[in-house]
Amino acid sequence: MADALVYQAEGEAVLDGRDLYGFTVTEWHLPATYPPFAALLFTPTAWLPPAALKAAFLAGNILLLAWLVHLSARLAALPLRLPARCAATALALWLEPVFQTLLFGQVNLALACLLLWDLTRPDGARGKGVAVGIAAGMKLTPAVFVPYLLLTGRRREAATATAALTGTVLLGAVLLPAASADFWLRRLYETGRVGKPWIVDNQSLQGLAARLLGDPAPGPAWWLPALVTAAGGLWLAARTPDDRHGVPLTALTALLVCPISWSHHWVWCVPLIAVLLADGRPRLAAATALVFTARTMWLVPHEGPQDLHLPWWQQPLASPYPLVGVAVLVLLRPQLSVSSSSASMIRYA
């Protein structure tokens, strides 16, 4: 649970007044990479011994997985009784992103639950958007749901999410002014702090392009497709008739275009599978579950720089998640056959 130890070190740095972005922990020399607001949330972990910390993260993530299954069923309007939800939770543990999240002691499930809980509430619900803003304040990637809300005509919810995100930044600036200045003016742009973008752990378009070209810095070869994917993905998400498809499409778009999307970030495969089942596509759902269970990226050579020297036939094995993400963006296009006026009626009914 290396990431849980990083979170604990962040909490300790806040309480001790140490440089939040000047330390590394574990044998992999991992630094803090999240905004200062996240470090404030991690302060309670500083009082836990390592064994208790790991037990808490394990139990918490299993409970969050059960909640994610529940929220995914709610998003997909998929009726699941309690025994079925328990079985689905047990099966979801075998999904590689979920297992890796438990293994590293990550917060991916917490972020996905925050976002899904907020986005599956009725439009106009009190405070809708606050949880989206808080999730974005912890880890910037969820901010992609702000333009999604805006593009789907929910200006009030988008403004609420923006205000909540701004509040997290201001809270960090007030309580941790030096760390905030360091993060927003310097550390945010040091992408190398997060990790090597070409390794198979990175299941984004940049990782795919780097490995395919054998170039650790693929430049336009990845950011041009990323720009097209970002615009096209958000357009598709905004044109879908309801959040059942719009939310997974937005999440997949973010995972694809983010410079680094570690394999454990793809816990959004859980709601994606639920939506495919609700759409009456059991074979596609099963194929998707198989891809996210197979762990093919760990079967190819990936020690040292070997990730950059894979033969052509190993490339799909090294980049299964971005390939699935692009395929889903294409396969869900039939949902756009609903006219814009009908889509609005369905969304706001």
Q: Confidence band (pLDDT; 50, 70, 90) for 333?
A: low
As a whole number of angstroms, the distance between CA 251 and CA 256 comes to 9
Tokens of 284: 């596609």
- Tens digit of pLDDT for each residue in 32-90? 899 999 999 999 999 999 999 999 999 999 999 999 999 999 999 988 889 999 999 99
**Taking a C-beta distance cutoff of 8 angstroms, is the pair 343, 239 a contact?**
yes
Total Cβ atoms within 10 A of residue 55: 13
As a whole number of angstroms, the distance between CA 102 and CA 62 comes to 8
**Taking a C-beta distance cutoff of 8 angstroms, is the pair 25, 44 a contact?**
no
Q: Confidence band (pLDDT; 50, 70, 90) for 336?
A: low
For residue 335, the model assigns a pLDDT of 52
Phi and psi at 240, nearest 5°, equal: -70, 155
- Tens digit of pLDDT for each residue in 215-247? 998 889 999 999 999 999 999 999 888 899 999
Q: What's this model's pTM, rounded to 2 decimal places?
A: 0.91
**Taking a C-beta distance cutoff of 8 angstroms, is the pair 68, 113 a contact?**
yes
Which residues are within 8 A (CB) of 216 and not within 5 positions of it... i.e. 6 or more apart? 196, 197, 198, 210, 308
